Amino acid sequence: MKTWLLPATLAATATLASPADWSPDLALRVKRVQAVRASPDGTRVAYVVGAAVTEGEKSEWLSHVHVAKADGSSAFALTSGDRSSTGPAWSPDGKWIAFLSGRGPKDKDGKDPKANVWRIRVDGGEAEVLTDEKGGVSATSWSPDGKTIAFLMTDPRTDEEEKADKEKRDARVVDEDLKRTRLYVVPVEKNAEGKRPVRRLTDGEMSLGNLAGPSEFAWSPDGRSIVFSHQPTPHINDWPLADVSIVDVATGKVRALASTGASETDPVFSPDGKQVAYDQSNDPPTWRRRSRIAIVPVEGGTPRLLAETPDAQPDLVGWTKDGRIVFGETHRTVNRVGVVPVAGGAPSWVSPEGLMVDGPSLNAAGTHVGFSSQAPDRPAEPFVSPLAKFAPVQAAKVQDLPALSYGKTETLLWKSPDGKDVEGLVTYPVGYAPGRKVPLLVVVHGGPAGVFVQSFTGGPTPYPVAGFASHGYAVLRVNPRGSSGYGFDFRSANYRDWGKGDYQDIQSGVDALIAKGVVDPDRMGVMGWSYGGYMTSWTITQTSRFKAASVGAGVTNLMSFQGTADIPGFLPDYFGGEFWDKEGAERFQGHSAMFHVGNVKTPTLIQHGEQDLRVPPSQGYELYGALKRRKVPVKMVTYPRTPHGIQEPKLMLDAMNRNLAWFDEWILARDAAGTP
């Protein structure tokens, strides 16, 4: 693996920072553990392990399906090779696993094959491809009898479209000829002609996915129908228009089941097939999301809403045979699993208060939950637990890291100036001695309805908490008003108020650490990605207390963002109007860093993906150009091929190293040299 060469300014500070064991290169050894799925009988678990590949010209995550016994006694890799395999799905008898992979030779144009449906015996053997499609498959599900697999696929490009591209006749009209995601079925076994004919079940202006990923679908217990959510286009901005429908598998006839002004998603049949549970948003939907689980008869009718969950945005996991709905939800700084009775009554937590339960899934029998779990000082591993009595067992040991020193992480509670309770996570420097004042780095999450949870601090992220702690910093990650995990009212408390109350929440958290004697107020920095980048760019227009800042994919100008982002409905919802209205224009300008940029004195690093549709890179260029003209120390780094989040390991390595170097240069090195 090629090691990043440290800039001279960082190399000179190495003796100052006294880094512990953690390093950006080591962060890339942390594996991703995802899609943990318990077998129908609960005795085994399948899961996906992703590892960074950085040798030579490669910079990618290679993922493969693994299987382990639920008691943790054995584990092995079920798939292998230089092409990723993902999305494991158990057959009803537990003997096979279907998965998605783009295996095979490159096409005539030298491109890798699209993902297709494969199956493999759980006890081992050669994998068998079931489909040969050009569109790229994104999800699979076995029918209850195990004879058919349903899957989602995006409309493939036509031969004429591919020819036009080659001949440079490829002009495109915006919002026309959209590629929607459709629902298909394929038989598991070949017919008399030795083929597996694929059938498409949905058509027209109906897409089962958007830019955020595929929508959920589920078989009926008798295998005759599939219930699914859909929206008019694949655009993520259309999520408020999502409805739930049912398709007859034999005939392909589709009928609406839940179609109101609310957004209806993630449907699943009851065990007896007579009802469907789904997630129903508030009406009209808001980007701040307030949703409840609803129940509707399969024949249709008036939906019945179940009790609201603590954060009012449950992730519907499944339906148990004893009449409960399993859901996942963030509660303060922990992801948890709970149940809500279908017959009525309050929801209750199933998982322990301090245990992180990431990506929970319910097995076909409704008896076991598969999930990954992590902690600030422990990377993610696969777990499985019975649902009746939650007793999680680590099914396998995936991670292979040396023993490291991590800074201690704890929660911090404080009062904002207006009396609102605010919470955050504080990570202390490695080897911190109480009473010693240390430099502080503040990290702001995205969203704004994101949330900092008790995740592993040593993994690959642009703002490496473990790296900062090893360099001698305390790190404060704030969940200001607008964050998830604290209920809908708290999540809505920044309505029309970006950069005001949330700014005070962050600053008062900093003040609380200073008052505790932990932080040296003359050695502080601030950073954040997306909405965190917005808050960082806004912060440096309001105060000069921070010696350095890093703005990642930040919204810097609400007016220009409104017209260029792929979510044009986002800001009008948060600010209660359009920027072309008089009041809207005042709000958009009044809450934009670019209209206050004349106040900035803070040295600023800007990082942005060149293919970012969510927050276009022009947002970063606006801030960069203004600071450069004002002769404020500024550096902008763009990442090729990168959307809203950095995907490629080598580019992530660059981002980690640059942030470490930037704050060391402007805080540690200058402090040691006595430079103000």
Residue 477: which CATH number? 3.40.50.1820
* Contact residues for 144 (Cβ-Cβ < 8 A; gap 6+): 92, 219, 220, 221, 222, 223
Domain carrying residue 361: 31-161+175-394
Handedness of CA 552, 558, 564, 565 (dihedral sign): positive
Residues 522 and 625 occupy one common structural domain:
yes
As a whole number, mean pLDDT of residues 182-189 equals 98
Residues 463 and 545 occupy one common structural domain:
yes
Give the domain-ending residue among 345, 366, 394: 394
Residue 481 forms beta bridges with which residues? none
- CA 193 to chain CA centroid, Å, is 43
Residue 369 forms beta bridges with which residues? 362, 385
* Contact residues for 499 (Cβ-Cβ < 8 A; gap 6+): 534, 535, 538, 542, 591
Mind listing the pLDDT tens digit for each residue in 533-554? 999 999 999 999 999 999 999 9
Residues 299 and 325 occupy one common structural domain:
yes
Classify residue 580: in a domain, yes or no. Answer: no
Angle at 484 between CA 483 and CA 486, to 5 degrees: 95
Q: Which of 173, 129, 182 is nearest to 154 (CA)?
A: 182
Residue 214 forms beta bridges with which residues? 209
Q: 5-9, 318-322, 441-445: lowest mean pLDDT where?
A: 5-9
Query: In the prediction, which pLDDT does 216 show?
Result: 82
Q: Which of 211, 216, 261 is nearest to 233 (CA)?
A: 211
Question: Does residue 65 register a pLDDT over 50?
Answer: yes
Overall size of the chain counted in residues: 676
Question: Does residue 159 register a pLDDT over 50?
Answer: yes
Phi, psi angles (nearest 5°) of residue 71: -90, 0
Classify residue 167: in a domain, yes or no. Answer: no
Residues 232 and 98 occupy one common structural domain:
yes
User: Would you place residue 673 in the very low, low, confident or very high pLDDT band (cuts 50, 70, 90)?
Assistant: low
Tracing tokens 């409309």 back to the chain, one arrives at 155
Between CA 659 and CA 648 the distance in angstroms is 17
Residues 303 and 445 occupy one common structural domain:
no
Residue 274: which CATH number? 2.120.10.30
> In which region does residue 332 sit, left (phi positive, over 0), alpha (psi from -120 to 50) or beta (all else)?
left
Side chain identity at residue 528, one-letter code: G
Residues 319 and 429 occupy one common structural domain:
no
Report the mean per-residue pLDDT for the chain. Answer: 93
* DSSP H or E stretch at residue 27: helix 24-27
Residues 371 and 466 occupy one common structural domain:
no
Give the domain-ending residue among 354, 374, 394: 394
Between CA 91 and CA 97 the distance in angstroms is 6
- CA 2 to chain CA centroid, Å, is 28
Residues 439 and 347 occupy one common structural domain:
no
Residues 388 and 529 occupy one common structural domain:
no
Tracing tokens 């449906």 back to the chain, one arrives at 117
The b-or-e profile of 191-218 (16+ CB within 10 A means b, else e) is: eeeeebebeebbeeebbbbbbeebbbbb
Residues 379 and 423 occupy one common structural domain:
no
Classify residue 166: in a domain, yes or no. Answer: no
The b-or-e profile of 425-457 (16+ CB within 10 A means b, else e) is: bbbbbbebeeeebbbbbbbbbbbbbbbbbbbbb
Residues 16 and 45 occupy one common structural domain:
no
Give the domain-ending residue among 394, 419, 434: 394
Mind listing the pLDDT tens digit for each residue in 268-322? 999 999 999 999 999 999 999 999 999 999 999 999 999 999 999 999 999 998 9
As a whole number, mean pLDDT of residues 466-486 equals 97
Residues 374 and 416 occupy one common structural domain:
no
Query: Can you give the C-alpha Rg of the chain in angstroms?
Result: 25
Classify residue 70: in a domain, yes or no. Answer: yes
Q: 118-127, 357-366, 479-488, 662-671: lowest mean pLDDT where?
A: 662-671
Classify residue 587: in a domain, yes or no. Answer: no
Overall number of domains in the chain: 2
User: Would you place residue 215 in the very low, low, confident or very high pLDDT band (cuts 50, 70, 90)?
Assistant: low
As a whole number, mean pLDDT of residues 153-165 equals 92
Between CA 116 and CA 96 the distance in angstroms is 16
User: Would you place residue 8 in the very low, low, confident or very high pLDDT band (cuts 50, 70, 90)?
Assistant: very low
Classify residue 627: in a domain, yes or no. Answer: yes
User: Would you place residue 7 in the very low, low, confident or very high pLDDT band (cuts 50, 70, 90)?
Assistant: very low
Classify residue 583: in a domain, yes or no. Answer: no
Between CA 610 and CA 617 the distance in angstroms is 6
Q: Are 279 and 264 in contact (CB under 8 A)?
A: yes
Classify residue 441: in a domain, yes or no. Answer: yes
Query: In the prediction, which pLDDT does 2 show?
Result: 26
Question: Does residue 581 register a pLDDT over 80?
Answer: yes
The b-or-e profile of 596-611 (16+ CB within 10 A means b, else e) is: bbeebebbbbbbbbee
Percent of the chain scoring above 90 in pLDDT: 89
